[in-house]
Amino acid sequence: MDMKSILSGTAHRSVNKRTAERRSVALPARLTWKDQRGTTRFASVVTRNVSDYGVYVECRSVVSIPLFRLVQFQIEPDVREADHVPDLLRQGRILSAVYRVSPPRPSGVPQGLALRLMVDPRRRAAVPEIEASRATA
């Protein structure tokens, strides 16, 4: 690939390597975690997108959560049963790990956190089996 194609934007773009589809949502939620002293902390957030294994949330106020901190994530109870809420998020608290922290921007974009949902590995292994059974039925 030459420099001219890179600069002009005609270079090959990377293929989406996600294992699960990401869906845009706007759902109120809350995070609960313990800080380094063991004090329980809470934050109100807005869920912006969700996949089978992760969510991205925007914080209404700036919070200090380090990378890889375990947090409890849950959708607010009053919207949990709405039709557009993914089934995965209806179960209540979901143990999650913080794997990216985006600071707030002067343009008004709030602080964001990417969370990896700690879902049961058996669930992940069951997905290809279900797909294979559908293909043969």
- DSSP codes of every residue in the chain: --HHHHHHT-SPPPP---SS--EEEEEEEEEEEE-TTS-EEEEEEEEEEE-SSEEEEEESS-----TT-EEEEEE-TTTTTSTTS-GGGGGS-EEEEEEEEE---TTSPPPEEEEEE---HHHHHHHHHHHHHHHH-
Is 90 part of any domain? yes
The per-residue pLDDT for 22 is 85
Is 134 part of any domain? no
**Full domain range(s) for residue 98:** 18-126
**CATH code of 67's domain:** 2.40.10.220
The per-residue pLDDT for 86 is 81
Global pTM value: 0.74
Q: How confident is the model at residue 44 (pLDDT cuts 50, 70, 90)?
A: very high
Is 10 part of any domain? no
The per-residue pLDDT for 85 is 83
Mean pLDDT value of segment 92-99: 94
The per-residue pLDDT for 23 is 87
